[in-house]
């Protein structure tokens, strides 16, 4: 079932991607539909009873001691932010 332009625009909104114009939407739709045509090959395979494999090594999550291991590097991390002020990240006003 091929995707429509409306579905592409909805996906872009979910993914927080601004597609600049209709031409981009059209091109993206064409590419995505050809990608889904390849993906469709796996749809018909019977996988009943097969456990999904999320990871090559079946690892349990490691636990560590509950101690502080990180140092405060706020200044270094904020030095690369687009806009900060007084140790805070600045974004457009959200609450009027």
3 class by beta-carbon count within 10 Å (0-12 exposed, 13-18 middle, 19+ buried): middle
Residue 59 within binding range of other proteins, rule CB under 8 A:
yes
Residues 6+ apart with CB under 8 A from 84: 78, 90
Closer of 59 and 68 to other proteins (Cβ) = 59
> In the bound complex, what is the minimum distance in angstroms from residue 82's beta carbon to other proteins?
4
- Other C-beta atoms closer than 10 Å to the C-beta of 41 total 8
By CB under 8 A, name the binding residues for other proteins. Answer: 3, 8, 11-20, 28, 31-32, 34-43, 45, 47, 50-57, 59, 61-62, 64, 73, 76-77, 79-83, 89, 91-92, 94
């Amino acid at each position: 079932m091929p995707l429509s332009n409306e579905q592409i625009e909805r996906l872009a909104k979910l993914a927080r991607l601004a597609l600049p114009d209709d031409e981009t939407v059209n091109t993206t739709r064409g590419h995505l539909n050809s990608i889904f045509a390849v993906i469709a090959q796996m749809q018909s395979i019977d996988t009943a009873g097969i456990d999904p494999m999320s990871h090559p090594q079946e690892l349990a999550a490691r636990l560590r001691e509950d101690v502080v291991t990180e140092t405060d590097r706020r200044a270094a991390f904020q030095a690369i932010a687009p806009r900060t002020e007084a140790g805070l990240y600045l974004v457009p006003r959200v609450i009027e």
